[in-house]
């Protein structure tokens, strides 16, 4: 019964979003407040119905209701409870339902938290959001309905793909979707602005928090997915330039560009046309990503559902939204007046530089991702575009960008002083040189590029804090005064410092692993010792064990660290009984920022095991960097309301004045 | 510099960056892409030159796997022709005889593939898309064994 209710709620959500697609926009054209106001309740109501629908699917999964085809295909009575919850979105239908749920959540939060937006803008934003929502809910109902029943109901389910039976599935897709789908709001804002024809600095102020929130989620989602692949797949890699990874990375690049260009628009009324275009492109890339993942046109680890009908449907949605928005852009963009002149050496100039490199980089990743498709369509040849392509194209584009990152925030608006900015970066530059010399002195065969990479990462990481140090007045002012000044700085400065420093840290991790990783593949017999970067690893024995829905051979290793500490590591080979599918569970031990990684192969008949050992120096920085970016984003986000000019309601302003008066 | 000259310099700079990017992409697309071949493409079609880096796809021939510690040899077949593959390392979890596989490496003049990557993806019914297409072309495809 709940399943049918869930299905019914999904249909109701479609009907409501269809209303919301039309009514508010008519209201805004006729300036009819009542029509516009309907979106204020239809948006939360749509979200409510989708949440109920989602809850019905969760219930079907948790209670193992195998009369539902989707549950039967992806669950099992013996599956651990956590994975009965997370398995809801571990398949095509469920993940699409999560997608629309998040889309509706963003629309509802604009309706609830956007009370200070001009009514016409809010109505248009919600209407555009409803167009997207209606398209995708229709897509689910027509091609990917999770509520289809099986009759007779099977006795037992087919279990979830073992690779997905991990805590990573609980976190990675929801975060990624919050990011992907979050950019729908900036898209809707851009569309709404073009419909009404009113685009100014205020628009950028309203959009920035949404863009920032989506960016924070997307950053966290990508980093989480990268770490999940690293420990779960047992290949020791953190990024494969897989089409699906690229599909999330392209919106991240353009979204990062959008964050920066919106800053220029907000402060200086410049780059309007460009910012609007970026907002459209970023969500278009999210849609393209959804298409690539969901249609299965590209072979990928993630393509767990492939069906041509779905592909065609999403392609239609894709063409409609990308084509429609660019068409509207072509008509409206010439009408936009840009203001705010600036010289090339200025904060605006630096942000344009940032945008130029980020979008070019995004374009190269896009070309590399789609090229195999194009070639196959043109002459039928099958090719693969892998890491070497991206290293040669994406890599060189990042170098000038990273070199410029610390300089940008030190330039003033309109007309900057490059020499002045560089003077404040002496410390960062000196440290970078010092570290490069250290690396050359203490390693024997470090590649030149690696030394350069380390230098750049130190430059970026330390340079990120140059603005804060300059503003504190240290060392000219005494330490207490400097601290007081730092405490008084706007939080957004900390936000950008942490964000930029995160870039440097990630680069350091990538270079550390890329150049100094130590890998040993060898066959070991019980009692045999292997030396991995100073860690003595002894193969003990193989221990069979039984889990709730799998059996495993645990390969025991006794490890002695260089400092004499001993501990045990237990990687294993698992076989999930229902699907008869083997998986490898790597064992990972963290020492500061570096990790020892052991991934076993099959146990041979004579008792020997082929094992892959890795020493991965500084590897955790690859994910600590994005964590720093996420913190930076959150700090900036918390700063919003305090910033000058940020929209506040009259009531809130009165309150603030009262508080000040009483203080 | 006048304003006009400045503007020209800026646009020129942007154009230069884009030009460099386009050149990089074109070079990379010429040198860094890897073609996918079946054993027939290599032996009868003579498509790959020795020393070239390729992706080889097909089925793992029954009874062809030879292990010597971490050194592994096996044969990839498309039921028509076959190529032997040498690989050092750990085979993926779903690598099995009679199953689809994609290997990447350098082809020798003796038509042996020295592979550094072996892909067999994480699904019990999975046959890599390229392999499935190639087998369909040959008419030996066993059909989509979907649940």
> Could you tell me if A601 lies within 8 Å of chain B, comparing CB atoms?
yes
Q: Do B33 and A389 touch (CB under 8 A)?
A: yes
The side-by-side arrangement of strands in the sheet containing A587-591 is A518-524, A609-616, A594-603, A587-591
Q: Which of B21, B31, B40, B92 to mutate to test the interface with A (most CBs of A within 10 A)?
A: B21
A-chain CB neighbours of B91 within 8 Å are 601-602
pLDDT digits (tens, 9 = 90+) for A389-411: 999 999 999 999 999 999 999 99
Q: Mean per-residue pLDDT for B62-76?
A: 87
Q: Do B20 and A396 touch (CB under 8 A)?
A: yes
% of chain A residues with pLDDT over 90? 62
- Beta bridge mates, A341: none
With CA atoms as reference, the chain B residue closest to A72 would be: B147
Q: Do A385 and B32 touch (CB under 8 A)?
A: yes
The two tokens of residue B89 are 């390392």
pLDDT digits (tens, 9 = 90+) for A427-459: 999 999 999 999 999 888 788 899 999 999 999
With CA atoms as reference, the chain A residue closest to B47 would be: A381
B-chain CB neighbours of A396 within 8 Å are 20, 24
Give the number of other CB atoms < 10 A from CB of residue A67.
15
ipTM of model: 0.84
> Could you tell me if B7 lies within 8 Å of chain A, comparing CB atoms?
no
More confident residue, A64 or A581: A64
A:175-234 residues touching chain B, CB 8 A cutoff: 233
The answer to whether residue A54 scores a pLDDT higher than 50 is yes
- Judged by DSSP in three states, A553 sits in strand
What is the reported pLDDT for A327? 94
Q: Mean per-residue pLDDT for A292-319?
A: 68
Q: Quote the CA–CA distance of A279 and A207 in Å, as a whole number.
A: 10
Domain ranges of chain B: 1-33, 35-138
C-alpha separations of A303 from A104, A306, A318 in Å: 25, 7, 18
C-alpha separations of A526 from A529, A531, A543, A603, A608 in Å: 9, 15, 12, 11, 7
Q: Quote the CA–CA distance of A577 and A547 in Å, as a whole number.
A: 10
The answer to whether residue A644 scores a pLDDT higher than 50 is no
pLDDT digits (tens, 9 = 90+) for A194-203: 988 888 888 8
A-chain CB neighbours of B24 within 8 Å are 364, 392-393, 396-397
> Could you tell me if B46 lies within 8 Å of chain A, comparing CB atoms?
no
Q: Do A581 and B93 touch (CB under 8 A)?
A: yes
What is the reported pLDDT for B92? 81
With CA atoms as reference, the chain B residue closest to A383 would be: B35
pLDDT digits (tens, 9 = 90+) for A590-618: 999 999 999 998 888 888 898 999 999 99
pLDDT digits (tens, 9 = 90+) for A334-378: 877 766 678 888 999 999 999 999 999 999 999 999 998 888 778
Q: Could you identify the residue written with the tokens 């290599």? A: B42
% of chain A residues with pLDDT over 70? 94
Give how far B110 is from chain A: nearest CA, Å: 23
Phi-psi sector, B146: left (phi>0), alpha (psi -120 to 50), beta? beta
- Beta bridge mates, A581: A576
> Could you tell me if B119 lies within 8 Å of chain A, comparing CB atoms?
no
A-chain CB neighbours of B56 within 8 Å are none
Q: Do A384 and B36 touch (CB under 8 A)?
A: yes
A-chain CB neighbours of B128 within 8 Å are 299
Q: Minimum mean pLDDT among A212-216, A349-353, B36-40: which range?
A: B36-40
More confident residue, A153 or A128: A128
pLDDT digits (tens, 9 = 90+) for A262-290: 989 888 888 888 999 999 999 999 999 88
Domain ranges of chain A: 1-165, 424-515, 518-616
With CA atoms as reference, the chain A residue closest to B131 would be: A382
Q: Which of B12, B15, B33 to mutate to test the interface with A (most CBs of A within 10 A)?
A: B33
The answer to whether residue B136 scores a pLDDT higher than 80 is no
A-chain CB neighbours of B28 within 8 Å are 368, 388-389, 392-393
> Could you tell me if B133 lies within 8 Å of chain A, comparing CB atoms?
yes
Q: Do A360 and B36 touch (CB under 8 A)?
A: no
The answer to whether residue A303 scores a pLDDT higher than 70 is no
What is the reported pLDDT for A307? 62
CB A586 within 8 A of CB A234: yes
CB A323 within 8 A of CB A287: no
What is the reported pLDDT for A338? 66
Confidence of residue A304 (pLDDT cuts 50, 70, 90): very low
Please tell me the pTM assigned to this model: 0.91
Burial of B134 by CB count in 10 Å (0-12 exposed, 13-18 middle, 19+ buried)?
buried
Q: Mean per-residue pLDDT for A506-527?
A: 93
The two tokens of residue A307 are 């069906």
Residues 6+ apart with CB under 8 A from A28: A36, A119, A120, A123, A124, A127, A195, A196
Average pLDDT, chain A: 89
Q: Which of A243, A384, A586, A613 to mutate to test the interface with B (most CBs of B within 10 A)?
A: A384
Q: Is the CATH number of domain B35-138 2.40.50.140?
A: yes
Give how far A477 is from chain B: nearest CA, Å: 39
pLDDT digits (tens, 9 = 90+) for A409-433: 999 888 888 988 999 899 999 999 9
pLDDT digits (tens, 9 = 90+) for B87-135: 988 888 778 888 888 899 999 988 899 998 888 754 444 556 666 666 6
Q: Quote the CA–CA distance of A191 and A328 in Å, as a whole number.
A: 8
């Amino acid at each position: 019964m709940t399943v049918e209710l869930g299905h019914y709620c999904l249909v109701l959500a479609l009907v409501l979003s269809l209303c919301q697609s039309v009514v508010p926009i008519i209201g805004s054209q006729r300036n009819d407040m009542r029509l516009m106001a309907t979106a204020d309740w239809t948006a939360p109501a749509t979200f409510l119905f989708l949440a109920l629908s989602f809850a019905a699917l969760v219930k079907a999964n948790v209670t193992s209701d195998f009369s539902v085809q989707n549950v039967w295909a992806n669950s099992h009575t013996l599956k651990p409870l956590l994975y009965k919850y997370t398995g809801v979105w571990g398949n095509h239908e469920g993940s699409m339902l999560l997608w629309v749920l998040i889309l509706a959540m963003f629309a509802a939060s604009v309706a609830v938290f956007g009370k200070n937006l001009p009514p016409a803008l809010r109505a248009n934003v919600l209407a555009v959001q409803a167009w997207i929502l209606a398209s995708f809910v229709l897509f689910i109902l027509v091609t990917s309905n999770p509520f289809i029943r099986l009759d007779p109901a099977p006795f037992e389910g087919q279990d979830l793909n073992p690779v997905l039976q991990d805590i990573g599935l609980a976190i990675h897709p929801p975060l990624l979707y919050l990011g992907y789908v979050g950019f729908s709001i900036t898209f809707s804002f851009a569309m709404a602005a073009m419909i009404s024809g009113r685009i100014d600095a205020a628009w950028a102020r309203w959009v920035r928090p949404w863009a920032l929130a989506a960016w924070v989620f997307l950053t966290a989602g990508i980093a989480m997915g990268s770490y999940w692949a690293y420990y779960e797949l047992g290949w020791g890699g953190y990024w494969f330039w897989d089409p699906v990874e690229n599909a999330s990375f392209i919106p991240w690049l353009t979204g990062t560009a959008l964050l920066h260009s919106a800053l220029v628009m907000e402060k200086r009324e410049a780059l309007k046309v460009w910012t609007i275009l970026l907002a459209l492109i970023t969500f278009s890339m999210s849609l393209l990503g959804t298409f690539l993942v969901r249609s299965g046109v590209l072979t990928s680890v993630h393509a767990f559902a492939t069906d041509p009908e779905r592909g065609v449907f999403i392609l239609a949605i894709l063409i409609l939204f990308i084509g429609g928005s660019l068409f509207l852009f072509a008509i409206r963009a010439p009408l936009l007046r840009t203001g705010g002149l600036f010289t090339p050496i200025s904060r605006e100039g630096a942000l344009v530089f940032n945008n130029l490199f980020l979008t070019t980089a995004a374009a190269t990743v896009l070309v590399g991702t789609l090229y195999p498709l194009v070639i196959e369509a043109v002459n039928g040849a099958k090719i693969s575009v892998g890491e070497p392509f991206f290293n040669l194209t994406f890599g060189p584009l990042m170098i000038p960008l990273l070199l410029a990152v610390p300089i940008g925030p030190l330039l003033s608006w309109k007309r900057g002083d490059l020499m002045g900015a560089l003077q404040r970066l002496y410390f960062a530059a000196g440290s970078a040189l010092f570290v490069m010399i250290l690396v050359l002195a203490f390693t024997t065969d470090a590649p030149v590029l690696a030394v350069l990479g380390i230098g750049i990462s130190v430059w970026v990481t330390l340079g990120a804090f140059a603005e804060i140090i300059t503003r504190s007045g240290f060392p000219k002012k005494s330490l207490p005064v400097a601290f007081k000044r730092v405490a008084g700085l706007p939080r957004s400065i900390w936000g950008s410092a942490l964000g930029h420093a995160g870039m440097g840290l990630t680069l350091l991790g990538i270079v550390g692993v890329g150049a100094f990783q130590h890998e040993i593949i060898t066959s070991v017999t019980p009692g045999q010792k292997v030396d991995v970067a100073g860690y003595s690893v002894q193969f003990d024995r193989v221990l069979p064990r039984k889990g709730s829905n799998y059996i495993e051979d645990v390969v025991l290793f006794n490890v002695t660290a260089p400092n004499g500490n001993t501990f045990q590591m237990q990687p294993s080979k698992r076989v999930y009984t229902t699907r008869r599918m083997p998986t490898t569970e790597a064992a990972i031990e963290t020492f500061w920022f570096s990790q020892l990684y052991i991934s076993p192969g099959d146990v041979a008949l004579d008792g020997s095991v082929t094992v892959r050992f890795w020493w991965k120096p500084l590897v955790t920085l690859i994910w600590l960097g994005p964590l720093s970016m996420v913190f930076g984003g959150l700090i900036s986000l918390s700063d919003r309301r305090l910033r000058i000019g940020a929209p506040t309601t009259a009531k809130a302003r009165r309150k603030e004045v009262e508080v000040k008066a009483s203080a | 510099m006048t304003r006009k000259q400045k503007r020209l310099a800026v646009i020129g700079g942007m154009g230069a960056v884009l030009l460099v990017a386009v050149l990089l992409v074109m070079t990379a697309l010429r040198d860094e892409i890897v073609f996918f071949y079946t054993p027939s493409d290599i032996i009868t079609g003579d498509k790959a030159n020795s020393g070239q880096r390729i992706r080889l796809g097909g089925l793992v021939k029954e009874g062809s796997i030879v292990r010597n510690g971490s050194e592994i040899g096996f044969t990839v077949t498309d039921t028509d022709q076959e190529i032997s593959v040498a690989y050092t390392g750990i085979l993926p979890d779903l690598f099995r005889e009679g199953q689809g596989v994609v290997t990447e490496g350098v082809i020798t003049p003796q038509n042996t593939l020295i592979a550094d990557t072996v892909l067999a993806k994480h699904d019990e019914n999975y046959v890599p898309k390229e392999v499935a297409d190639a087998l369909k072309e040959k008419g030996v495809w066993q059909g989509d064994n979907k649940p």
